[in-house]
A and B are shown apart, each in its own frame.
Chain A
Amino acid sequence: MIAIGTLLHVKQLSRSGLELTISLFIPIVQATLAVYLFRSGGESHRLLDAAVGAGMMGVWSSVLFGSGGAIQSQRWQGTLEMIMLAPRRPVLVLLPITLATALTGTYALLATLLWGRLLYGIRLDFVHPAAFVAAAPVVILSLGMFGLLLAATFVLLRNANALANTLEYPVWLVSGILVPITVLPTWTTPLAAALPTTWAARALREATAGGPVWPSVGICAGISLICLALGAFALTHVERRARAAATLALA
């Protein structure tokens, strides 16, 4: 059910002009920006890092806006009641949506790598190529699980998209996606350690530039499983409350 649901939502998201813009075009612009910034800073040897980092930024944007708005968009489409009536636990119905947003985020990663290769001649010299190929799907699915917690949290907030708009840059910054965590104020370190995006970015960076990939992948997956459990609990609570108060369909 999760696999079929995910495939259905990936297909649906892949037909949306806005989703494709967020997943393909904007990451390419960000990758271009990162390439010129890294070149200006005399860091031409780190262009692959820049391309991977820009791709990860795209994955996070896709998860943040897609998962954060998952329930709201079902409301706007008028399908929220139908999916909540399904004789399955809410988590099983919504998880495919959040996984799909993470998977469409993969377009960003592929697009920035392809763009970098074709336009800027960036050689795809991954230190651990096999680990990169294996780690990328794991961290992306992990971010999809994190997305479920976002979806469950955002549904409690009337203006969830305001929070989504606010969270894009802070998470890019604190997770060390392009900016190393070491240059940030020390109080951000515990925050970074708690975010799966930090470990996801770190895993892909280590696969790209060298380092122990699997501990980062493991921590990312572990935090995301906790997020999945919390999200599932929150969804059950929210669904019961919405049914009791008859507010399920209220935007």
Chain B
Amino acid sequence: MRTLRLLTVGGVIAYRALFNWTSPGMFVGTLLVGPLFQLLFFAYLGRELQVGDDRFFIVGNAVLASSLACVFGGTMAIGNERRFGTLGHVLLSPRSRTAVFLGRALPYAGNGLLIAAFTLTGGALLLGLRIPPGALPGMALALTVGSLSCGFFGLALGALGLRFRDIWVISNVSVALMLLLTGVNVPPSALPGWLAAIGQGLPITHAAAAARLLAGGADLTEALRPLGIEVLVGAAWAVLAALLLKVFEVESRRHASLDTL
């Protein structure tokens, strides 16, 4: 029970701290308007090149929209502790740091879900995509699983912030690669095998596939397989994040490099 409280309350407090320096304008501009225009850009490009229909690009980019909040949020959740000089205090805590940091991913995943839902709604309304009402619960599930999986991916990247100084390079590169490798814009069949294989291990890939199936009128049971794989991918990233956090914490204590910027 105490661990659960640490996970949720700790995460919420850290998330609120983030909003001490950001603002509603920044939230709307960066996290709502930006992904919506990304969706429009690829949807129009897809129309021009006739690579896929509107559903392919709208649903794919809507699921990917959560990556912005999850990847940047995850890296900031840990990297900013170092930047603002509070990392030492967190690591001095007698509670489980794994629980503390895994809890950080949850609000970002929630945030990602909100952004994905907004982007999907906005994209569908602007481009006239009809989604069967019966598909909505399944799609909500796909967006939730994708956001959570991406949240843990962001946390694993954030863990690198304990070891490397420039977390912005890591997060910018990751977001760009997700655009290419998750199959939301380029069908995996069009990518070389090795690039498609990397995409299979990234969050969003399977959630986007499931959401597309559901938006196309498929039954939830048909989407369970990609959703299950997405859950496994997310769990693997969560374990990796916990491991990296542990290893880098021990290393930074040993090398006295905890607050080195």
Contact = CB atoms under 8 A, between A and B. Distances in A.
A239 interface: no
B174 to A, nearest CB: 11
Main secondary structure of the interface of A (DSSP, over half): helix
Contacts of A170: 37
B191 interface: yes
B169 A17 contact: yes
A33 B41 CA distance: 13
B166 A18 contact: yes
A24 to B, nearest CB: 11
B44 to A, nearest CB: 5
A179 B44 CA distance: 7
Contact of A26 (B23, B46, B173): B173
B30 interface: yes
Given A33-B185, A38-B49, A40-B186, A162 B176 contact: no
Contacts of A40: 49, 51, 186-187, 190
A32 B195 CA distance: 11
Interface residues of A, number: 35
B47 interface: yes
Contacts of B30: 161-162, 165-166
A29 B176 CA distance: 7
Interface string A226-250: 0000000000000000000000000
B25 A159 contact: yes
Contacts of A17: 166, 169
A162 B27 CA distance: 8
Given A21-B173, A169-B40, A37 B51 contact: yes
> Looking at A17, A25, A36, which has the most chain B CB atoms within 10 Å of its CB?
A36
Interface residues of B, number: 36
Contacts, number: 98
Interface string B43-86: 01111111100000000000000000000000000000000000
A201 B28 CA distance: 28
Given A17-B169, A32-B180, A165 B49 contact: no
Contacts of A179: 41, 44-45, 48
Contacts of A220: none
A81 interface: no
Interface in B195-254: none
Given A29-B177, A40-B187, A169 B41 contact: yes
A28 B163 CA distance: 26
Contact of B45 (A29, A159, A166, A178): A178
A33 B37 contact: no
Which 9 residue pairs spanning A and B have beta carbons closest together? A41-B49, A169-B37, A162-B29, A162-B26, A166-B29, A165-B30, A40-B190, A29-B176, A36-B186
Interface of A: 17-18, 21-22, 25-26, 29-30, 32-33, 36-43, 158-159, 161-163, 165-166, 168-170, 172-173, 178-180, 183-184
